[in-house]
Amino acid sequence: MDFVGSHILSVDQFARGDIDRLFAVADALEPFARRDRITRVLQGAILSNMFFEPSTRTRVSFGCAFNRLGGDVRETTEVKASALAKGESLHDTARVLSGYSDVIVMRHPQEGSVAEFASASRVPVINAGDGANEHPSQALLDLYTVRQEIRAQGRGMDGLRIAVVGDLKFGRAVHSLLKLLALFERISVNLVSPPGLEAPPDVVSVLADAGHDIGVHHDLGEGIHHVDILYVTRTQEERFASPEEADRYRGLFRVNEAIYTEHCEPNTVIMHPLPRDSRAQAQELDEDLNANPNLAIFRQTDNGVVVRMALFAMVLDVVDQVQDHARPVTWYTAKRTPAARHL
């Protein structure tokens, strides 16, 4: 695909070569994400960061990514703080905002809403999550992390064994990640969920059509056996008809150090798109795993910035200019350990 000027709405847009190119740019931007160097290549550019659903990581890391490239960020974080609350259509909001900014990042609770918004926008729009549908930038940073972790073990992506655990029905991060994994060779995927929260058939068929090995499990221990990556997700309570319905699933699959040690291999990497639900009734990824060196969740969050920088650099066509606008950092920067184990 041609990234320049494109909307990034779904991982369906990417071929494997596109991912390779994006990750090569991300690798080159690591010193800037790490604050060893700074660049002002996007000086004068404006990002509209529109989040109509709760977000910490995605919103802040998109903003930081743009700032790290030298651009400015304008944020709207609630429907009630925008004219959507006065009945304005996505079309009109898109026409207006695209007159104010150079690129727009948007999260919205309705599936397909970001694509609808993008069709009226005069500038590129990046989907930061549309309902239970997709979360492309999360999947890209997850894949970047998988690649980094697996590389550190001296292996490549092809032949990867992964278990995805939890709410696979509503988890948009999982939907996008599974579709991206289908681009690789000989992937073995265990889909581990409570009955009723299985992955949507259209997502599973992307993997099946590409000839990958798929196992469906309703038993946690069985499902996470012999995998390279254990990817745990949260019950997406906001997508259920009522909180009581979500409660029926909460806490059914809890991964902790004892379960990990019993079922996983010594170097199985533990991932989660976050937030992990750490309330007593959930504890899907127990805090007793915090000292486990294979817990990659904060390496994932660190990678969110550099992967989103790469997306901006490619969409706004400044990849070749980054170094021209670069210089060493001038302020004290803390050493980034231990989250950045492999950097």
Residue 131, sorted as left (phi over 0), alpha (psi -120 to 50) or beta, turns out to be left
Please say which residue, 136 or 273, places its beta carbon nearer to ligand ASP: 273
C-alpha to C-alpha distances, 249 to 141, 242, 245, nearest whole angstrom: 27, 12, 8
Number of neighbours of residue 120 by Cβ within 10 angstroms:
17
Q: Give, for 91, the enclosing helix (H) or strand (E).
A: helix 90-100
Please say which residue, 127 or 148, places its beta carbon nearer to ligand ASP: 127
Cβ–Cβ < 8 Å for 128, 137: yes
Question: How many chain residues touch ligand ASP (CB under 6 A)?
Answer: 9
Please say which residue, 241 or 291, places its beta carbon nearer to ligand ASP: 241
What is the per-residue binding string for ligand ASP in 220-249, x denoting contact by CB under 6 A? Answer: --------------x-x-------------
Residues 54-113 that bind ligand ASP (CB under 6 A): none
**How many Å apart are CA 337 and CA 194, to the nearest integer?**
36
Please say which residue, 136 or 223, places its beta carbon nearer to ligand ASP: 136
Nearest distance from residue 177's CB to ligand ASP, in Å? 11
Q: Which residues pair with 73 in a beta bridge?
A: 47
What DSSP string describes 211-274? T-EEEEES-HHHHTTT-SEEEE----GGGSSSHHHHHTTTTSS-B-HHHHHHHS-TTPEEE--S
Residues 131-160 that bind ligand ASP (CB under 6 A): 135, 138
C-alpha to C-alpha distances, 130 to 6, 46, 290, 299, 315, nearest whole angstrom: 18, 22, 30, 24, 20
Nearest distance from residue 170's CB to ligand ASP, in Å? 9
Please say which residue, 45 or 311, places its beta carbon nearer to ligand ASP: 311
Nearest distance from residue 323's CB to ligand ASP, in Å? 32
Please say which residue, 63 or 70, places its beta carbon nearer to ligand ASP: 63
C-alpha to C-alpha distances, 157 to 46, 183, 229, nearest whole angstrom: 36, 10, 11
Residues 117-136 that bind ligand ASP (CB under 6 A): 129, 135
Residues 261-290 that bind ligand ASP (CB under 6 A): 273-274
Nearest distance from residue 134's CB to ligand ASP, in Å? 9
The burial of 148, by beta-carbon neighbours within 10 Å (0-12 exposed, 13-18 middle, 19 or more buried), is given as buried
Residues 7, 59, 169, 172: which binds ligand ASP (CB under 6 A)?
Answer: 172
**What amino acid occupies position 147?**
R
Q: Which residue has the tokens 């904060």?
A: 298
Nearest distance from residue 67's CB to ligand ASP, in Å? 21
Please say which residue, 167 or 228, places its beta carbon nearer to ligand ASP: 167
Residues 33, 163, 173, 296: which binds ligand ASP (CB under 6 A)?
Answer: 173
Nearest distance from residue 128's CB to ligand ASP, in Å? 8
Nearest distance from residue 76's CB to ligand ASP, in Å? 17
Nearest distance from residue 272's CB to ligand ASP, in Å? 8
Q: Are strands 125-130 and 161-165 parallel, antiparallel or unpaired?
A: unpaired
Give me 328's structure tokens.
């060493």
Q: Which residues bind ligand ASP (CB under 6 A)?
A: 129, 135, 138, 172-173, 234, 236, 273-274
